[in-house]
Structure formats: C-alpha cells, structure tokens
C-alpha cells in the first residue's frame, strides 16, 4: 500500500477507513478525497504517487485533470449569473448571442443546453487544436451547427459543446471567458485550487494520468459517442501521452470548459461547499431558491442513442442517480469525470465532496462510491 496522509474528524473516520481500503483493493496510483460539512473541512486525505515516471509523491495540494467535473464550475457560474438577474436560463440563447439563432436553433435556451437537450451534442466541423485554443472558431462552428433533433424533445450528453456554448453566453454577458470569470468571481476570491485553463505557474503541482489495464476502448471515430468525447476527432481520448493529449501541458493551458478543468480534491470540494453553505462562515454562493431551480430534473432515461445509464440531469448538474452515481439525497448535485473523478454538494446535509485520482479505471469504477457511502454513514444516513 502506498503511504497515505491527511486527517479526518472523528465523526468522519469512516471516510479515512474507506480511503485506505481503496488503496488496498484497487490499482490506485495516487488519489485524494476532501469533505466539507457545514462549511468546515472535516476530512482531507491523500496518498500515493503523482507521477509514476519519477515517483513524485502526491501532496495535499496536488492538481489533477478532472475532465467533465469542469461542468460543475460552468454550472455554478451560470447559476450565479442567473441569481444576479444577469442571465435568464429560459430565454433563448440568442438574447445574449444573436448569431446563435441559425439552422433550427432559434428557440434553444441555456436550460436546454444545461440539460443536454439542445440537439448539439457534437459538432460537424473538424477543428484543429489551435482553432479550439483560439475559442472563436468553436463559437463559429456552434453557430453553423444544425441540431440532431428538435431541441427540447430528447437528450444526449453534450460533452465539450455544453462548456463552449454556455461559456460563450457567459462571455457575452460578462466580457470574460468562463475560465477567467470563474477565477475572478469564485476561484480567486475563495482561494480554490480549480481552473479552466491552468496557469503555467501551477504545472509543478500537476499529477500525471495513467490508464488502468483493461479499459474498454472507445467506439469507432464515426460513432456519436466518440465524436462527443473527442470534439469530432479534434482531441484524443484517452490519448494520455500523445501530443495535445491529457498529459500535455498545452492542453491544460487552454479553456475546455466542458471537460478540461484541473483541480485538487480540496479545490473541487471547496467549490461545492461554497455553493451550498459558504466556506468558514462566509455567505453561500447559491441561494436555496437557486439550488431548487438547478435541481429540477430535466433529463433521464433513454436518450437520443437509446441508452439509459441511470443518470438524472438537472440544469448543468448530475442529480442523485442511485444506479449511476449515488450521492446523499434529493438535494445532491455534482458532476463526475472520466477515469473516476467525482465531486458534489448537498445543501440539505451541508456537504461538499470531491475525490480525484490519476489512475483512470473507467465505467463502473467504485472508488468514489465507496467514499460517498462512508460520508453517508458518517452523517448517520
């Protein structure tokens, strides 16, 4: 077993026990879990190796790519703007972004996008890495995109497009890209180790991803799921050590707001704790009414591709989904990321939680679920 470090309040000792069992039972390389309750940190645990090549140890502030956990950052930004009266989630996107109203997208709302119902889960355009990094070519491709279905009538996971689409609305309202807005309004003021677009100054803390043996391969390049995950072939997945792959600093430096966040466990858990309770006595980011709006179920069951993975979606957030990602209850909301990353908040229990790891195990990975079970037991549930 790798050396494990950190602490947990006595009430949350079960989380420490579960974390140790994960390192004994799974092919963990390095990982961390942080739990906040009532705005106060009650568990912060880490261990293992951040870089398998050098043996560099995982530290309390180690950062790791968290993939689609990025959607949690974007969703909190969108709901914060809605709470401030600057964004109407049920208004057409074109109210803020007039050029979007083309090719059957005139009635698409931000709510539809956040609920994966807008009909644009992937783009037809094939963009290069430099075009994606430049932002505007992606925006133009979204404007030119025709929906795959009548918006609002069904759903399918919107992968990268959700981040760029909602991110452009954020930019039109605030003048800042979503990563810059998050850092200015939330991440920076709260001191959260979480970024969409990682500064070069933070690279020394970044863990290196590794694949577990036996990961299920992606479908062929023409399959919609592959197009969703790779931005129609522009990105590689998992492609860890390929140019512009998920261990390439150049990839982490650009804004990929749908799936490109980099964070520590404490940074992600702190975001959700700030949203539901505030941190260390501070004001909560999102009011109960804002949360109730976000938690209204928009999508579940079989989607456009006919699969039902058991996920339930609110506005930009994964809801309590017992067969897919069990959380704590009806007021739980979060997002998970490829390879096992998972973070959520719950304003009924006052919890912010995050688990991050650099060993990508894949679908059915039980590491985070075990830790959530331990949090639930610690709370007496």
Structurally, the chain folds into a number of domains equal to: 1
How far apart (Å, rounded) are the C-alpha atoms in residues 46 and 34? 9
Q: Is 158 a member of any domain?
A: no
Q: Is 230 a member of any domain?
A: yes
Exposed e or buried b per residue across 319-328, where buried means at least 16 C-beta atoms within 10 angstroms of its C-beta: bbbeebbbbb
Q: Is 326 a member of any domain?
A: yes
What is the model's pLDDT at position 223?
A: 93
How far apart (Å, rounded) are the C-alpha atoms in residues 135 and 177? 9
Per-residue pLDDT 10s for the chain (381 aa) are: 458 999 999 999 999 999 999 999 999 999 999 999 999 999 999 999 999 999 999 999 999 999 999 999 999 999 999 999 999 999 999 999 999 999 999 999 999 999 999 999 999 999 999 999 999 999 999 999 999 999 999 999 999 999 999 999 999 999 999 999 999 999 999 999 999 999 999 999 999 999 876 566 778 888 999 999 999 999 988 888 889 999 999 999 999 999 999 999 999 999 999 999 999 999 999 999 999 999 999 999 999 999 999 999 999 999 999 999 999 999 999 999 999 999 999 999 999 999 999 999 976 689 999 999 999 999 986
Q: Is 160 a member of any domain?
A: no
How far apart (Å, rounded) are the C-alpha atoms in residues 124 and 236? 17
Nearest Cα neighbor of 4 from 26, 31, 27, 25 is 31
Is the sign of the CA dihedral 102, 105, 111, 112 positive or negative? Answer: negative
Nearest Cα neighbor of 381 from 373, 17, 295 is 373
Q: Is 373 a member of any domain?
A: no
Measured CA to CA in angstroms, residue 350 lies from 41, 85, 156, 288, 324 at distances of: 11, 25, 30, 12, 22
Q: Is 67 a member of any domain?
A: yes
Q: Is 107 a member of any domain?
A: no
Q: Is 115 a member of any domain?
A: no
Q: What is the pTM of this model?
A: 0.97
Phi then psi for 307, rounded to 5 degrees? -95, 145
How far apart (Å, rounded) are the C-alpha atoms in residues 336 and 213? 21
Tell me the residue range of the domain where 239 lies: 62-74+180-339
How far apart (Å, rounded) are the C-alpha atoms in residues 354 and 19? 12
How far apart (Å, rounded) are the C-alpha atoms in residues 85 and 103? 29
Domain containing 191 — which CATH number? 3.40.710.10
């Amino acid at each position: 077993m790798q050396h494990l470090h950190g602490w947990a309040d006595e009430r949350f000792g079960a989380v420490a026990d579960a974390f140790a069992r994960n390192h004994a039972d799974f092919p963990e390389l390095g990982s961390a879990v942080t739990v906040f309750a009532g705005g106060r940190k009650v568990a912060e645990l880490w261990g293992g190796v951040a870089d398998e090549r050098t043996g560099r140890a995982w530290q309390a502030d180690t950062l790791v790519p968290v993939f689609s956990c990025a959607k949690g950052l974007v969703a909190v930004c969108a709901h914060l703007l809605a709470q401030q009266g600057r964004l109407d989630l049920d208004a057409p996107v074109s109210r803020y972004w007039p050029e979007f109203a083309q090719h059957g997208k005139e009635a698409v709302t931000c709510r539809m996008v956040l609920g994966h119902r807008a009909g644009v889960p992937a783009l037809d355009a094939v963009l290069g890495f430099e075009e994606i990094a430049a932002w505007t070519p992606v925006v133009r491709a979204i404007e030119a995109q025709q929906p795959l279905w009548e918006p609002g009538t069904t759903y399918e996971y919107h992968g990268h497009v959700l981040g760029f689409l909602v991110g452009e609305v954020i930019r039109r309202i605030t003048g800042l890209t979503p990563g810059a807005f998050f850092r200015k309004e939330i991440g920076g003021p709260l001191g959260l180790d979480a970024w969409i677009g990682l500064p070069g100054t933070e690279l020394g803390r970044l863990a290196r991803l590794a694949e577990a043996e036996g990961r299920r391969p992606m479908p062929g390049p023409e399959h919609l799921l592959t197009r969703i995950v790779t931005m129609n072939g522009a990105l590689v997945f998992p492609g860890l050590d390929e140019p512009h792959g998920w261990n390439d600093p150049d990839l982490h430096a650009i804004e990929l707001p749908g799936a490109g966040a980099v964070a520590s466990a404490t940074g992600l858990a702190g975001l959700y704790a700030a949203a539901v309770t505030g941190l260390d006595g501070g004001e909560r980011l999102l009011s109960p009414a804002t949360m109730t709006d976000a938690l209204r179920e928009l999508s579940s069951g079989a989607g456009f591709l006919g699969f039902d993975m058991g996920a339930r979606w609110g506005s930009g957030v994964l809801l309590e989904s017992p067969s897919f990602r069990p959380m704590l209850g009806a007021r739980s909301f979060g997002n998970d990321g490829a390879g096992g990353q998972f973070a959520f908040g719950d304003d009924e229990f006052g919890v912010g939680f995050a688990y991050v790891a650099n060993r990508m195990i894949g679908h059915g990975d039980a590491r985070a679920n075990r830790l959530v079970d331990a949090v639930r037991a610690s709370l007496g549930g």
